[in-house]
Amino acid sequence: MQLTLKQLGGIHQVLVIGDQEDSLDMRARGILVLGSVDGPVNASMTLDRRVRDLVDKVTMKYPTPRIFAWGWHGATVASGLGNDYEPVAFVDDIDRSCSILGGNITIIPTSQSGSRILSALGVPIGSIAEPLIGVIPSSILVDRESVRELLHLEQAKNVVALVGKRCSWQEVIRMVVRLCTSRQRVDFIMPERYIYHAQLISAAKKQGVTDMLHVTPSQLRHVDVINGVDGVWAPLVAPHDESCEVLDVIETVWAGVPIVVSASHPVAGVPHVGQEIVSTKNEIEICGWLLSLAEDPISAKEKADDLTAHVKSIASPSSFIEGLQQRMSSSFRLRRYVS
């Protein structure tokens, strides 16, 4: 969303589907927020009507708005406006707690896996656009030494960040136990706001391996963490989850840090670049890659730099905006956003 706000001209107003805290977070990022509508899971069954009322009021001033929805919750709400506003939604994560209502909406996934999931959920094929990805480069990062200090891993020899707040905790604990059994030390940094934190820590306590798992400090963003680690591992999304988490992987690759991704990960379905990102087929190969980081860091970094150069040509801001414009139906003066 921030990428589009910066790159597309015109008037932009953001309506946040969430509470006051979510709105404050948006404003802290320098985003102009029109307001917020609480209730992301629509518990009161009035969310759609409240959003509709607010959008209708705005159209009295701007008669030809275009609705952009960012994320699954935003897409489901915007779909209720479809016949009147023809919204466009950009979706990476999918949550079955709410569903697309129908209407004339265009949904842009991030990978072919996302397209298949949307189709399986009943979204008409004609409403699913070609996958699209984009990354906002971060120019200011916390330096490596400070990251290690905040993680309390100044002396650690092999530090690996996990990517994906919905990644499978079972896959992570199996890897940690495998390494521990082999008497190999790798310190793993759990993702910020990791959904399965409690399950992973509980399993780690039973196995006696909690010392190999570390929480991301509140002072650090994901892009800061990966700037201070030796490598990154993107485990598969939890089996029962239908999210793709493609953008997290793309952002990590963009940063130029060595990364290992299974061929079964949804990122494999990203056009033009997915097959170059994935590199392993099973946990044994992933384990070997993790151990090789400490043995040959120069080679790992060289491969990462080559991959980064290719991803930047596909996921640059200009490429994203060009792709987005190709998927839009008509020009407009006001662009509204539902996040």
Give the domains, in start order, of the chain with CATH numbers: 2-134+317-338 (no CATH), 144-313 (3.40.50.2000)
In degrees, rounded to 5, the angle at the alpha carbon of residue 281 between the alpha carbons of residues 279 and 282 is 125
Report whether 118 contacts 269 (CB < 8 A).
Answer: no
Question: Could you tell me the two tokens for 315?
Answer: 């996921």
Q: What would the mean pLDDT of 67-76 be, rounded to a whole number?
A: 83
Query: Is the whole model's pTM more than 0.75, yes or no?
Result: yes
Q: What would the mean pLDDT of 69-83 be, rounded to a whole number?
A: 80
Q: What would the mean pLDDT of 18-25 be, rounded to a whole number?
A: 75
Confidence of residue 262 (pLDDT cuts 50, 70, 90): very high
pLDDT digits (tens, 9 = 90+) for 158-189: 999 999 999 999 999 999 999 999 999 999 99
| Rounded (to 5) percent helix, strand, coil in the chain | 45, 15, 40
Residue 103 has pLDDT above 80, yes or no: no
User: Dmax over Cα atoms in the chain, in whole Å?
Assistant: 67
pLDDT digits (tens, 9 = 90+) for 273-299: 899 999 888 999 999 999 999 889 999
Reference 229, options 174, 167, 302, 290; nearest CA is 290
Q: What is the DSSP string of 319-331?
A: HHHHHHHHH--S-
pLDDT at 244: 79
Q: Which of 27-31, 229-233, 263-267, 271-275 has the lowest mean pLDDT?
A: 27-31
